[in-house]
Each structure stands twice: as C-alpha cells, then as structure tokens.
C-alpha cells in the first residue's frame, strides 16, 4: 500500500519513515496551520491510506495559544478526513489521553465521555470530532506518555538531568502507560492496512504501554536500566505546578484494539536499556 504521513520530525513520524512504502510530509510540504492545503495535498497525491502523525504537542504552550493549537490539532485533521472520505481513502489519526479529565482509577474505554482539562485536550477533542463527522473510514488512536530517541520526551529529559543531578523530585500521583513511539508507528501502520483490506473496523481505539506506572516509577526504571545513580524524591502534582493541568489518571483500556486488529499492548520496559544507550550515543 502507499501511505501518506503528515509529519516528518515528530517521534511517531520518524518511526513511520522507516517503512518503505511511506511518504512523510514536513511543514514545508503541508503546513497544518493551513488546513485546506492539507486536504488538497491528499487529493493531489492520491495515496491509498493516510496517517496523521503531526500535531501541536506543547501542552503548556497550548494554554497561551489555544487558537493555533485548535487549528493544527482540530481543523487540520478534520480537513484531512474530509479529503479522505471523498476519495474513500482510510484515515488513521493519532490522539491523546488528554481528552479525558483523569478522574478515578479505572482505565478509560474508547467510548467514555471526553472532558478535557485544558487547551491541548480541547484542541485534540475538536480534531476527533471533525474526523468522525467527515463520514469516511477512519481510526482514531488515543495514546499516552510517548517516548523515543527523537524529539522532546520524558525519557530524554530524565537522561539529560541525570548528567548533572543526582537527586530529582518526580511526580508520583499521575498514573499512565509509557508508550514507545516505534510501537505507536507499528500500530498505526497495521491499522491503516486493516482498514484498507477491510479486516479491521473503523472507530476510536486506545493504545498504551504496560504496566501502568507513575512518572516516578518510570524515572526509576530509566535510571536503573541506564545505570544512572539518581535518588528520586516522590512529589505530588500540586508540588510541581504547570500552566496546563495534567490528568492524574491516564490509564487506557486497549481491549478493542486487540479484538479488532490483533494489536497487543507493548511492555515499555522491553528495549529501554538499548534505547538509553542509543540516546547517549546520539
């Protein structure tokens, strides 16, 4: 199949670029702040499937410019979905756990009511609704706590801080599933193929790594596998104020993804040691 990917430098897009039949578009090719242009690129290039791996990912920055975040995360994927629907092209769109309010301790199912805490979540919610409203064959994949050797993420931040600090305060009351970007890319690619062949159903799905942990637990495993001697002091979210509110519960129920596409949740601990080494080298 011929796969058109919006995004080129992001964590998931860089992993998708490893597939031989994928063409990735950067900002010069398709600026998501110009939604109609994104839709027209799909019409011009005539791909068999489209994956949107591009987004306004600055959670705190979105609080300062919600209008731009909404155009990029909301209007642009909606325009892509409309073009795909017109052409009967399957569309896979990546979304986030931030569309939920993070209350409780139960894993959120795909059909759970969305209730974002901040601008980033609201902008992604707009995108989800636009994709559904387009009426085409779509799959929305909500994920959480993405990490890789690329871009900005918690793993790279912890390794960087450990170079100069031997003690860190890390939040322990936010719980979620760290998810390797490579696993997300593989899931999106498989879902695109499933939608194209008809072996997988359209809808909203969840995908996150297992087991669920706190940020402090995640950090402890990073330091253990990378051989860093760092003492972690567990703190509460209220002790680390940020412009945007973070959901305390980012657990995602991923059962339907397994049922429809046969995609299993990855153990985020697997391969972490090698990834830490790769980041040190690069």
- The domain segmentation of the chain, as residue ranges, is 3-152+177-211+250-267
Q: Please give the distance of CA 214 from its chain centroid, rounded to a whole number.
A: 18
Ordered DSSP codes for 113-169:
PP--SSHHHHHHHHHHHHHHHT-SSEEEEEE-SEE-SSSS-HHHHHHHHHTT-SEEE
98 noted as active-site residue: no
What pLDDT, on a 0 to 100 scale, did the predictor assign at position 281?
55
CATH entry 3.40.50.720 includes domain 3-152+177-211+250-267: yes
What pLDDT, on a 0 to 100 scale, did the predictor assign at position 49?
98
pLDDT per residue of the chain (282 residues) written in tens, 0 to 9: 899 999 999 999 999 999 989 999 999 999 999 999 999 999 999 999 999 999 999 999 999 999 999 999 999 999 999 999 999 999 999 999 999 999 999 999 999 999 999 999 999 999 999 999 999 999 999 999 999 999 899 999 999 999 999 999 999 999 999 999 999 999 999 999 999 999 888 999 999 999 999 999 999 999 999 999 999 999 999 998 999 999 999 999 999 999 999 999 999 999 998 898 888 655
Angle value at C-alpha 129, between 17 and 199, nearest 5 degrees: 55
Helix, strand, coil in percent for the chain, rounding step 5: 45, 20, 40
| CB-CB neighbours of 241 under 10 Å | 7
Query: What three-state secondary structure class fits 22?
Result: strand
Reported residue count of the chain is 282
Q: Which of 19, 98, 120, 138 is catalytic?
A: 120
pTM above 0.85?
A: yes
DSSP letter at 253 equals -
What pLDDT, on a 0 to 100 scale, did the predictor assign at position 200?
85
**Region class of 227: left (phi > 0), else alpha (psi between -120 and 50), else beta:** left
> In Å, how far are 33, 170, 272 from 39, measured between CA atoms?
12, 42, 37
């Amino acid at each position: 199949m011929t796969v058109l990917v919006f995004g080129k430098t992001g964590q998931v897009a860089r992993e998708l670029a490893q597939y031989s039949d994928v063409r990735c578009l950067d900002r010069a090719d398709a600026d998501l702040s110009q939604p109609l242009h994104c839709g027209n690129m799909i019409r011009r290039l005539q791909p068999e499937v489209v994956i949107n791996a591009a987004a306004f990912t600055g959670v705190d920055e979105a609080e300062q410019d919600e209008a731009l975040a909404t155009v990029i995360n909301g209007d642009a994927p909606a325009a892509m979905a409309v073009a795909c629907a017109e052409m009967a092209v399957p569309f896979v769109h990546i979304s986030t756990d931030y569309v939920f309010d993070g209350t409780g301790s139960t894993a959120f199912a795909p059909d759970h009511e969305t209730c974002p805490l901040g601008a980033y979540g609201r902008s992604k919610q707009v995108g989800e609704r636009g994709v559904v409203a387009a009426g085409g064959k779509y799959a929305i994949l909500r994920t959480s706590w993405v990490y890789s050797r690329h871009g900005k993420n918690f793993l790279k931040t912890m390794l960087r801080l450990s170079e100069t600090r031997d003690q860190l305060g890390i939040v322990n009351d936010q719980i979620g599933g760290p998810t390797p970007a490579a696993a997300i890319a593989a899931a999106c690619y498989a879902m695109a193929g499933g939608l194209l062949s008809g072996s997988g159903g359209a809808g909203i799905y969840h995908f996150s790594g297992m087991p669920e942990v706190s940020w402090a637990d995640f950090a402890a495993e990073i330091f253990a596998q990378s051989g860093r001697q760092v003492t972690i002091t567990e703190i509460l979210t209220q002790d680390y104020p940020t412009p945007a509110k973070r959901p305390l519960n980012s657990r995602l129920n991923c059962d339907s993804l397994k049922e429809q596409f046969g995609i299993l949740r990855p153990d985020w601990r697997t391969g972490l040691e090698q990834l830490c080494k790769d980041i040190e080298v690069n």
